[in-house]
Amino acid sequence: MAEQSSSGGDGVMVTVASPTDSVDNGWDDAARAIYSVRKIAAPMGIVLQPDDRTPYLIDLHRKKFFSTDDLTDFPTHPVRVGVQTYVVSLDDQEPAGPARNLELLLWNVGRSSFHGGLAPWLSPTAPYRLTAWPDFTGVFHTTFHLRLTAHLANHVTTVNDLVELFPADAESVPGAMNAFSLLGILEHLPAQPAAAAQPVEPAADAERSTGGLWSRLRDRWGF
């Protein structure tokens, strides 16, 4: 699979999936669809159908998903995931079955996509921050995910900087960033232009700069 790479600190390589990669993990295609559909202003839904599994019916507008599948047995590497999109009618009744927090599903899709590399719409060198905390209730997470979330909620950071900050968990950084992006809580900030160099003023005469007695006498009497 063709990938782009960028080096973080200590030689850690952050790979970025190419937009033209062939899909050999079905969640790659699903993640691309979720990211694209989120940009549509109309209320949208997506049906994800992993091979030999119950489908996941996503309602992006209500931030819910419907499925009888148990996410504790989430298929992390399906060969194929069928993707269908549709416009949600707010007058329609919700599908039968339990409605669950959409963040549970998107967290799993994001962490399982792109073979541990960054999604193709993310960059290792771009500055990011979180606009909200994800709901970790009911999803697999570690203390690393909590520390990463806390850092991104309070600092603007690049992915390369994150792998330096969390070297023991560097391989987990891209998957978490993909998940944050699918959740819609990862903000890409424009790079700040470098500050223009300020001209250096020549040093004032030491005696004059003090504003002391001799300075005042010289100014008044020409000493």
In a domain, 208, yes or no: no
Residue 205 belongs to some domain of the structure: no
pLDDT band (50, 70, 90) for residue 211: low
Kindly state whether residue 221 falls inside one of the protein's structural domains. no
Mean pLDDT to the nearest integer, 133-141: 87
On whether residue 193 sits in a domain, the answer given is no
Better-predicted residue by pLDDT, 221 or 71: 71
Alpha carbons 119 and 121: distance in angstroms, whole number? 6
Indicate whether 196 pLDDT > 70: no
Q: Within a domain: residue 196? A: no
Around Cβ 203, how many Cβ atoms within 10 Å?
A: 7
9 domain-assigned: yes
**Confidence category of residue 208, pLDDT binned at 50, 70, 90:** very low
Please state, in angstroms and rounded to a whole number, the distance separating the CA atoms of residues 136 and 14.
25
| 171 vs 7: which has the higher pLDDT | 171
Q: How many domains does the chain have?
A: 1
Range of the domain at 53: 3-188
- Which has the minimum average pLDDT: 21-30, 106-115, 121-130, 138-147? 21-30
Residue at 220 is within a domain: no
The answer for residues whose C-beta is within 8 angstroms of residue 165's C-beta and 6 or more apart is 151, 157
Residue 210 lies in a domain: no
Looking at residue 20, its pLDDT comes to 45
Question: How far apart are the C-alpha atoms of 88 and 14, rounded to whole Å?
Answer: 37
Residue 223 has pLDDT above 80, yes or no: no
Q: Is 70 exceeded by the pLDDT of residue 193?
A: no
pLDDT band at residue 72 under the 50/70/90 scheme:
confident
